[in-house]
Each structure stands twice: as structure tokens, then as C-alpha cells.
Copies of this chain bind each other. A is one copy, B any other.
Amino acid sequence: MSMAMSMVTRKITTTKIDFMNKSEVKVIGILERVGGFASAQELYQLLQRNGESIGLTTVYRSLQSLVSDKIVDQLRREDGEAIYRLCGDSHHHHLVCKQCGSTVEIEGSAIERWTKAMAEEHGFREVGHTAEIFGICPKC
């Protein structure tokens, strides 16, 4: 559907290696710096602050393309806004303070196993998950 995608599809006939266009490289660059999830709007603002010349439309288009090429993961915040991150960033979860908003990244090997087990038990494939813990931190 997207131009970038059809281009990739066509050129991939022999190898998986292909180039991305300028905008996609910029988006990947900022995602790298962010190191985790960010929304399209946030990425756009970060790029602006970094002095990059790129339009919001193009940020959205690049993200779409990167997602459909499996280079970027797309999830949803609780309010429905889409958030993106580079595939391969280490997977983790969050412990968030309801009061002050401070966040702790936590490892979730237990939850990873639980997810896998539940999915298998019900015959689901291509499984992903979300898990966040909310509470009140020691300081609050």
C-alpha cells in the first residue's frame, strides 16, 4: 500500500537488504535516541527540536512503512494514542507511581512465561502483550 513498502517488496527479490529513504532514517535515528516508546507527535517534536526538517505527515508515513516492514513495533497507550519503538529494544514493563508519575523499568521474565503459556493454552499465535503496574512509590 505505501510506496516504500512496494518498493521494498520489489527490490527484495534476491536479498533482504534494502535502503530506506531519508525520512525513515531520520525517524529511526530519533527512535534510537529515545530508546523506548514514543508517539508520532512526540517524535515529530523531538525531530523539530533537533533541527531536522521533516513534516508531521512524513513522520506518520515513515512510521507506517517501518511498522509494516517489521522494523518498528506499534502499540497503543491507554488513551488510544499509537506509540512506536525500534524492534529489538529490550522488552520491559513499567512500575508507575499514581501520585508523582515516577517510573521504574522492570524485567518481566515471569510475565513473559505467563504470556507464552496462556497463548499456547488457547492456541493463539503471533502473540504480544502489555503489562503495567500502578501504585504509590516510597517517596509519596
Seen from chain A, the residues whose Cβ lies within 8 Å of a Cβ on chain B are: 76, 78, 80-82, 95, 97-98, 104, 106, 108, 110-111, 113-115, 117-119, 122-138
- Shortest Cβ distance from residue A93 to the other chain B in the assembled complex, whole angstroms: 8
A130 and B130 in contact (CB under 8 A), knowing A114-B114, A118-B106, A122-B137? Answer: yes
Cα-based distance from A80 to B82 in the complex (angstroms): 7
Cα-based distance from A22 to B114 in the complex (angstroms): 41
Q: Top 10 A-B pairs ranked by shortest CB distance?
A: A127-B135, A124-B135, A123-B138, A80-B80, A131-B131, A110-B114, A129-B133, A76-B76, A126-B136, A128-B134
Complex contacts, A98 vs chain B, CB 8 Å: 126
Contact of A108 among B95, B104, B114 (CB under 8 A): B114
Complex contacts, A135 vs chain B, CB 8 Å: 119, 124-128
